[in-house]
Structure 1
Amino acid sequence: MADRAAPPVAKKVPTQRVHHGDVVVDDYEWMRDKEDPEVIAYLEAQNAFVEQETAHLAQLRRDIFGEIKSRVQETDMSVPTRSGRFWYFTRTTEGQQYAVSCRCPIASPDDWTPPEVTPGVALPGEEIVFDANAEARGHDFFSLGATSVSHDGDWLAYSTDVKGDERYTLRIRNLVTGELLPDTIAGIAAGATWSRDARYVFYSTVDDAWRPDTVWRHEVGSAEPDVQVFHEPDERYWVGIGTTQSEDYLVLSVGSKVTSEALVLSADDPTGEFVSVAGRTDGVDYSVEHARIAGQDWFVIVHNGERDGVKAIDFAVDLVPVGDFGARRELIPHRPGRRIEDVDCFRDYLVLSYRADALPRLAIADLRRVDGIPAPDDFVEVTFPQELRSAGLGANAEWDTPRLRIVYTSYVDPAEVFDLDVATGERTLLRRQPVLGGYDPDDYTAVREWAVAGDGTRVPVSLVFRRDLDRSAPAPMLLYGYGSYETCLDPGFSVARLSMLDRGMVMAFAHVRGGGEMGRLWYENGKTLSKKNTFTDFIDVARHLIDTGWTSPDHLVAEGGSAGGLLVGAVVNLAPELFNGVLAAVPFVDALTSILDPSLPLTVIEWDEWGDPLHDPEVYAYMKSYSPYENVAPRPYPAILAENSLHDTRVLFVEAAKWVARLQECTTSENPVLLKTEMTAGHGGVSGRYKQWEETAFELAWILQQSGAPAGRG
């Protein structure tokens, strides 16, 4: 390997950082300026190095792209969802990058059976609501933020981003005449919410740190200045606006990572004043919905506040009468280990979304069968045969729906959409995600194992593989992790994953602390001054999989993105010998530098997640001890592929650029360290489904190489 090409060498410009008496010299901070031609030249040189180092994988990439494409029904459509006078659905067409939003009229007010659909065949009265392909024409990048239709169905408010920096432009179209109004609002957050009378559109703007901080009211067709509805000065909080399921109330949400507040306003009074439902108490997180129970209007509050001196760590549900916020009563009590996430309210049903045993679950109370306020036992769980599965509410736009739309999937079952008749339990299958090429779920299986962390904590691990996998020898394996923000790695199906499984790979998911799979304490024990549990859990999972014969270090590849990139970046400093490759997508690897700078996007909001190193020396020292960039040192690193995007506003491109420069400087192995930068994209990477498949094929080819899996399918 002595003739291996050398990567581009980054120049060093020592920059001093001083905090809490600690002096740090950073040689690569100069890369932060993306307007600097020298920075762009360096990124392009790294891209050229990636092309050179991966050129031999070109055929494998083409093969995988072809496999993904051959399994996807490219001309397809979603199940229609009723909203107002129309059925709404999306179409995809072979050769087009983006979906087209469409609708057709309902037959009558009591028409609740979605029309039978045939991909490529128009429905009676079908019309296009929004064609993303037309809007994206001429742009290298395109992202759709909002497609919000007014209550009467006559108006569309939509927002687009053609750069990747998540600064959207809002426009309004008359769906009856097709007229595009001159109303144009630039530089806003993604969403848009209509008033019930379709006279106003509410939207949010962001501050210099990319924090949604202000809600505005725009009068459609008016040249008058937009009205500021709400402004949040505290930099720890973001704001947003939406409606209740009933559409009777506008809901203005204010939240940090640990504290939230909900303010409501009657939808019939869009120019009125919002009123706080339960105030704002530090450390109390809550959300609000509107329900009509036993002839009375209530606000349903999902919260982690206290009752009788006991904090509802895994959340409870209360009711408060509309108009009498002081008369609050309990609906569903807190139960440790059952993490309540949401309650959706319909005319006839309350739907409880929660998780237990590291899996998402649903339970439904049928209000038609309840005399008065439902008791906890009136919520009946919706069950499924597959042990490792995900289920949740699908698109249920109408408050008075007689049936509930539910979506089910697992690691091996493509997504299914069905309507549930709650009274009879009958399930009507409306769609099963098509997987072409003779896919048989019985050829694959998924199992749950438990690794034991160093402190004795049992950490769940999910594994997916072909049933005919040869277990007599260590298998090629991809181990994926995230472990932040209470985000859960729930079971789900992936067409692209089949290209790995069919080559004898095992896909493993490490449900480490910092995620939310095991409840709120699972999250609490993997953040701030307990963050290192996230990294050591992942390492203990890797060792468990090696010790139990599933894989070996020569066959194990780790992957994580964004905060998951921080995870694998920290892990590769702690235990590089366990992995033969690490894929880090838009990785948050210069975490300390970013969290020290309150002028950077989202930094102050993030202090609840990581701690505040700017003002707290203990947090500073703790973050410095694990931040991947800070801890790169001469050691034999495995092969590393880092991917970032020039216009990313969540994790700036400079983090991966600096990290790779230091890794290339310090590694004592001959394993290549690669940096691939998307020059016209943001945090989510490239746009357009074919471009995304190409990017996936690039990643999978590299993963297969590093895992030692065969290039050809078994």
Structure 2
Amino acid sequence: MNSTISPSRPPPMAKKVKHEMEMFGDLRIDNYYWLRDDSRSDPEVLSYLHEENAYTDYSMSGFKPLQDQIYAEMRGRLKEDDITAPIRRGPYYYYKRTLEGKEYVQHCRRLASNIGAPTSVYDTMSTGSDALPEHVILDENVKAQEHVYYIIGAFKVSPNNKLVAYAEDTKGDEIFTVHVIDMESRTPVGMPLVGVTSDLEWAGDEALVYTTRDEILRPDKVWLHKLGTEQAVDSCLYHEKDEMFSLFLAASESKKFLFVTSESKITRFVFYLDVSNPGNGLNVLTPRLDGIDTSVSHRGNHFFIQRRSDECFNSELLICSLDNTPDTKVILPHRPSVKIQDIQLFSDHLVVYERENGLPRITIYRLPAIGEPVERLEGGRTLDFVDPIYSLAMSVSEFSSSILRFHYSSMRTPPSVYDYDMNSGVSVLKKTKTVLGGFDSTNYITERQWATAPDGTQIPISIVYRKDLVKLDGSDPLFLYGYGSYEMCKDPSFEESSLSLLDRGFIYAVAHVRGGGEMGRQWYENGKLLKKKNTFTDFIASAEYLVEKKYCSKEKLCIEGRSAGGLLIGAVLNMRPDLFKAAVAGVPFFDVLTTMLDPTIPLTTSEWEEWGDPREKEFYFYMKSYSPLDNIKAQNYPAILITAGLHDTRVMYSEPAKFVAKLRDVKTDDNVLLFKCELGAGHFSKSGRFERLQEHALKYAFIVKTVKYGLKGRLQAVAFKYGLICEGHDSESFVVHRFMR
């Protein structure tokens, strides 16, 4: 502990510059509008952000031993030298390798001893003395040496396994450069594609299809690039001029077609490109019909179409022939209680990823031989899982194989990769992420509870805790996470960093509030637009339930949300600040009304179908009634930590910056309010794996110490420096003890 006595340091107080905004006769005044700098280079703005960062560092300096301890714990759980479960592509195994002490991964491959697609779940890459040599295709550690931020957003291998195209972002603004290299020699092939997205697919072995964005960073054009030619002569396959729609790419499992989807929040239509003749351009597969959402796969002489509408809100599955796409037939009808999340096609099987009662599942159907008619699907086989709550994710599998690969985890089960033989029903665990430091999954209990919302709706809550530390008598601290937007599912998965809370006696919980997709499409519809407040009241009801059932008390209840989940945190802090001890908001969407009134910035136009268009009076006043920045009050707030990224293009750094400045000026308590803006990152925080652990360590040190000591404002660091609390004698430490926003 630093024993130097330093004077107290007041927090930064941003200057006020009156900025008036009027609409529908309603006048709003934003005294901190000047903090928005689209160029992110204004010296005065940057100076203010530096002041905030310095104040956060100062305020947390007394907690540095704990922060370092938590960081050491998290890093100590990592098996730093490891490989991912190899994926078979033709004659090669592809995988990623991490090295001890290195921030980034190596992309590798190894020639298989047998040729062809895997035929058995026991098919495994040899790493012993008989193994063929490993080839490092790309080492991100070398590429990242000259950059503060480095991330690869796409790594696409050509069909003939000779080339790879990868997209890199060196700033965090999600504007990518695509490089093509020969995999054996690692030499460049042609010139890079600049100013593109990471959405990238091969069209045969000699052409790429990619997308670019307009001035508000909306993916609006799809291009065909022939290797060896200049980007300037690439042909535009489609230009989406409707500002509500964005373009995305997908390759069929058969690799015979590429699909270009144009989608808004409620409508999606699809074009297809024949990979064998990419010069022929796009063909319409499903037409644009307002409110109809379609996605497509291919097998043999059929397209399989997943279709959602107001009537079939949880989707139905249709089929049509390649030469008569308008003539569709339903093969898996709509079921009101079961949502079709996605499908995956194989030469002999169809895998349907579904959701029912808040949990995902996998159902497998055997298909007739390619060329024979496909009738209504019946008699599917559903896989069983051990944990009461869990998460599932698709993985790349070989189309011609009968081996399904999928990812599984739960709140106590580390990420695991399984190969499942769809013919025999045999399942083999291929890899479970190693967690060092004495981790034992049997020490933890997972469960699901249900809170009752004000309108009677039952809200699922996923919970995990350490059974030998938690008492469940109201004295335990609890960390509650929420999101609830875009129909995204925050399924109960393994959060390795959270072990530093769980092993200190914290309970970790996730409230699956409306606006997400956990309980099906209607769950989403009932938490958006003019029903958005259900998201916030669901979260409050979940928190109150956990207090009522003595999982915790108000004095030990901490909450977190990121991005659109940060909006959730900001809204509930204004509504019920008395309910929480501490809050963390990451890259939070705080300035909803001002942002959604500005069509010149990213995401606004495409998200009017998510939040509403405030140029309409009803939406304007509804959004104003919950927008966190507009609803800050002169009241007591809990301790708060807010983070942002200077180069974030999804939520501008200025939204949390303005919220912090206004809250400091208005709130009536002296609880700590900290703001940390990463000046070399964007929406997804720092890029290095150890750097991200530092951010988690800061967050958890803030939470632990706030719950434990509840120190006030700038006095907390002074208390440590004067020896009022001695970090080195913390005898109670083991007793008390994841294109949208």
After TM superposition, list the pairs within 5 Å mapping 1:155-304 onto structure 2. Answer: 155-196=163-204, 198-223=205-230, 225-292=233-300, 297-304=301-308
The 1:111–1:648 alpha-carbon spacing in structure 2 relative to 1, beyond 3 Å, is closer
1:39-58 alignment runs, 5 A limit: 39-58=45-64
Give the counterpart of 2:33 among 18, 29, 36: 29
Taking the aligned partners of 2:71 and 2:41, their CA distance within structure 1 comes to: 34
Q: How far, CA to CA, are the matches of 1:406 and 1:649 in structure 2?
A: 32
Describe the SS at the equivalent of 1:365: strand
d(CA) in 2 for partners of 1:334, 1:95: 51
Give the 3-state SS of the residue equivalent to 2:192 in structure 1: strand
Residue 115 of structure 1 and its aligned partner are, at CA, apart by 3.4
Asked if 1:115 is matched to 2:124, the reply is: yes
Query: 1:90 aligned to 2:96?
Result: yes
The answer to whether residue 11 in structure 2 is matched with residue 7 in structure 1 is: yes
Matched to 2:98, the amino acid is T
Which SS does the other structure have where 1:325 is aligned? strand
Aligned equivalents of 1:485 and 1:131: distance in 2? 35
Question: d(CA) in 2 for partners of 1:275 and 1:707?
Answer: 59
Match of 2:458 in 1: 458
Taking the aligned partners of 1:231 and 1:383, their CA distance within structure 2 comes to 44
- Partner SS, residue 543 of structure 1: helix
Q: Distance in 1 between matches of 2:292 and 2:667?
A: 45
> Residue 594 of structure 2 aligns with which residue?
593
CA shift, 1:626, in A, is 0.4
What letter is aligned with 1:683?
H
Partner of 2:505: 504
Cα drift, residue 494 of structure 1: 1.8
The aligned runs of 1:524-539 (5 Å cut-off) are 524-539=525-540
Distance 2:126 2:80 in 1: 15
TM-superposed deviation, 1:176? 3.4
For 2:627 and 2:703, the matched residues in 1 are separated by 24
Shift of 1:280: 0.8
**Cα offset for 1:114?**
4.3
Counterpart AA for 2:237: V
Structure 2 unmatched ranges of 5 or more: 1-6, 710-729, 736-741
* Cα deviation code 1:248-270 (max 9, x no counterpart): 11111111111001111211011
Task: Tell me the residue number matched to 2:156.
Answer: 148
The equivalent residue for 2:417 is 417
Q: Please state how far the C-alpha of 1:71 moved relative to its aligned partner.
A: 1.1
Q: Which amino acid aligns with 1:326?
A: P
Is residue 2:473 matched to residue 1:472? Answer: yes
Asked if the contact 1:361/1:381 (under 8 Å) is kept, the reply is yes
Shift of 1:72: 1.1
Contact 2:330 2:376 in 1 (8 A): no
SS where residue 152 of structure 1 aligns? coil
Query: For 2:497 and 2:9, how far apart are their aligned partners in 1?
Result: 31
Distance in 1, matches of 2:116 and 2:533, equals 56
> Can you list the C-alpha shifts for 1:18-54, whole angstroms capped at 9, x where unaligned?
2222221110000001321010000100111101111
Q: Which residue of 1 aligns with 2:75?
A: 69
Alpha-carbon deviation of 1:122? 10
Contact 1:218 1:226 in 2 (8 A): yes
| Structure-2-length-normalised TM-score | 0.92
Q: Is the 8 A contact 1:87 1:114 kept in 2?
A: no
- Count of residue pairs brought into register by the alignment: 700
Give the deviation of 1:110 after TM superposition: 4.1
Task: Kindly provide the amino acid, as one letter, of the partner of residue 30 in structure 2.
Answer: D
Taking the aligned partners of 2:523 and 2:130, their CA distance within structure 1 comes to 48
Structure 1 equivalent of residue 718 of structure 2: none
Q: How far does residue 126 in structure 1 lie from its aligned partner after superposition? A: 1.7
Q: Residues of 2 paired with 1:472 and 1:326: CA distance?
A: 61
User: Which residue identity is paired with 1:24?
Assistant: R
Give the partner amino acid of 2:13. V
Aligned partners of 1:288, 1:116: CA distance in 2, in Å?
32
Show the 5 A alignment for 1:539-618. 539-614=540-615, 616-618=616-618
One-letter amino acid of the structure 1 residue matched with residue 734 of structure 2:
R
Q: Please, which moves more after superposition, 654-663 or 276-285? A: 276-285
Shift of 1:395: 2.5
Q: What residue identity is the alignment partner of 2:420?
A: L
Structure 1 Cα separation of the partners of residues 9 and 558 of structure 2: 23
Aligned runs of 1:600-679 on 2, under 5 Å? Answer: 600-614=601-615, 616-679=616-679
* Residue 75 (structure 2) pairs with residue 105 (structure 1): no
- Preserved contact between residue 585 and residue 644 of structure 1 (Cα < 8 Å): yes
Deviations 1:142-169 (A, max 9, x none): 1111111110011111111111111101
In 2, the alpha carbon distance for the partners of 1:46 and 1:177 equals 47
Change (3 A) 1:542 1:219: same
Percent of residue pairs bearing the same amino acid type: 38
Mapped to 2, the partners of 1:91 and 1:678 lie a distance apart of: 27
Taking the aligned partners of 1:41 and 1:114, their CA distance within structure 2 comes to 57
Other-structure match for 1:406: 406
Alpha-carbon RMSD across the aligned residues, in angstroms, is 1.7
Give the CA deviation at 1:672: 1.3
SS of alignment partner, residue 271 of structure 1: helix
Correspondence for 2:691:
691
1:481–1:567 CA contact under 8 A, matched in 2: yes
Q: Secondary structure at the match of 2:648?
A: coil
Aligned CA distance change for structure 1 residues 369 and 158 (closer, same or farther; 3 Å):
closer
The verdict on how the C-alpha distance between 1:206 and 1:87 changes in structure 2, with shifts beyond 3 A counting, is same
Superposed displacement of residue 713, structure 1 = 3.2
Q: Distance in 1 between matches of 2:385 and 2:566?
A: 33
Contact 1:557 1:706 (C-alpha < 8 Å) held by counterparts: no
CA-CA distance at 1:368 after TM superposition: 5.8
In 1, Cα distance between equivalents of 2:644 and 2:400 = 45
**Secondary structure class of the residue paired with 1:97:** coil
Matched-pair contact (CA < 8 Å) for 2:492–2:510: no
Contact 1:554–1:708, Cα closer than 8 Å, also in 2: no
For 2:575 and 2:341, locate their aligned partners in 1 and report how far apart those are by CA, in whole Å.
34
Q: Deviations over 1:100-148 (max 9, x none)?
A: 11011122334625434659x9951321122111111111011111111
What is the CA-CA distance between 1:707 and the residue it aligns to? 2.8
In 1, the alpha carbon distance for the partners of 2:596 and 2:335 equals 35
Q: 1:583-619 CA distances to partner (integer Å, 9 max, x unpaired)?
A: 00000000111010000111100101000002x1100
Deviates more, 1:617-626 or 1:76-85: 76-85
In the other structure, the counterpart of 2:317 is 317
Return the offset for 1:571: 0.3
Contact 1:213–1:231 under 8 Å retained in 2: yes
Pairwise CA distance, 1:408: 1.6
C-alpha separation in 2, matches of 1:484 and 1:26: 26
Listed as ranges, the gaps of 5+ residues in structure 1 are: none
**Conserved? CA contact 2:137–2:184, under 8 Å:** no
3-state secondary structure, aligned to 1:496: helix
TM-score by length of 1: 0.95
Taking the aligned partners of 1:364 and 1:193, their CA distance within structure 2 comes to 27
Residue 337 of structure 1, CA deviation: 1.7
Tell me by how many angstroms 1:177 deviates: 3.1
Shift of 1:324: 0.5
1:643 Cα deviation (Å)? 0.2
Contact in 2 for aligned 1:451/1:541 (Cα 8 Å): yes
CA distance in 1 between counterparts of 2:495 and 2:362 reads: 23
1:626, 1:491 → 2: CA distance? Answer: 28
Cα deviations across residues 201-260 of structure 1 (Å, max 9, x unaligned)? 111100111111101111111136111111100000110223101001111111111100
> 1:522 deviation in Å?
0.5
Measure, in 2, the Cα distance between the counterparts of 1:5 and 1:392: 48
TM-superposed CA distance for 1:4, in Å, is 5.9
